Structure formats: C-alpha cells, structure tokens
Amino acid sequence: MEGVPEIEFAWANGARIAYQVFGSGEQTIVAVPPSAQNIEIAWERPEIRSMLVRFGSFCRYVHFDKRGTGSSDRPTCSPRPKVVRSRCCLQRPIHTA
C-alpha cells in the first residue's frame, strides 16, 4: 500500500465522522479506535502503519475518528456502528468486545 488513504466523511446525528477504507478481501473489519486516536496521524507512527498495512493485505479495513477527535466534528454524542456500517456498505458487521 502506498500513501495514506483518503479521509471520507459520514453524517451521524448532524455531525461529520471522518473515516478511511482500505485493503481488500472477503471480510470487512470495522475498528473502533482508542479514545483519542487520529486516523490521519496514526499513519505517521511506523508500528501503527505496519499494522494497518498488514490488515489491508487480507481484508477491507475501516477505521474512524470518534466524534471530537481527528477530523470528526466536535461531540454531542458518540457515532453509532450502524451509521458506519450503512455508509461503508458492509454486508455483515463484525462486532468485537
């Protein structure tokens, strides 16, 4: 994978949620980031970049900036997984604990 994937935006409760989609494969993984991760800056850290590149080598990977972090709008509530799911056209959501 070359370069940083383009940041896209989904609307959730009147706010824009920043996300990136990259990789390919049968499965789609939607990752819920740590509390203050910035998806654009994450690519600058070698250990995170290598992890993201590895995920993209075998699956379609979606991650997003939580509301109030990175490029997402400031908070009034948290983004709902169904909004990310519908915007990214997921066939079957995968939920993890």
CATH code of the domain covering residue 31: 3.40.50.1820
- The answer to whether residue 93 sits within a structural domain is no
- The answer to whether residue 59 sits within a structural domain is yes
In this predicted structure, what is the pLDDT of residue 37? 81
In this predicted structure, what is the pLDDT of residue 45? 93
- The answer to whether residue 14 sits within a structural domain is yes
> Cα-atom radius of gyration of the chain, to the nearest Å?
13
| Total structural domains within the chain | 1
What does the alpha-carbon distance between residue 68 and residue 35 come to, in Å, rounded to a whole number? 10
Residue range(s) defining the domain that contains residue 45: 8-87
Please state the separation of Cα 61 from the chain's center in Å: 7
Would you call 28 exposed, middle or buried from its count of C-beta atoms within 10 A (0-12, 13-18, 19+)? buried
Question: Do the Cβ atoms of 19 and 84 come closer than 8 Å?
Answer: yes
**pLDDT confidence of 61, banded at 50, 70, 90?**
very high
- The answer to whether residue 35 sits within a structural domain is yes
In this predicted structure, what is the pLDDT of residue 1? 61
- The answer to whether residue 92 sits within a structural domain is no
pLDDT single digits (tens) 13-43: 888 999 999 998 899 999 988 777 899 999 9
- The answer to whether residue 62 sits within a structural domain is yes
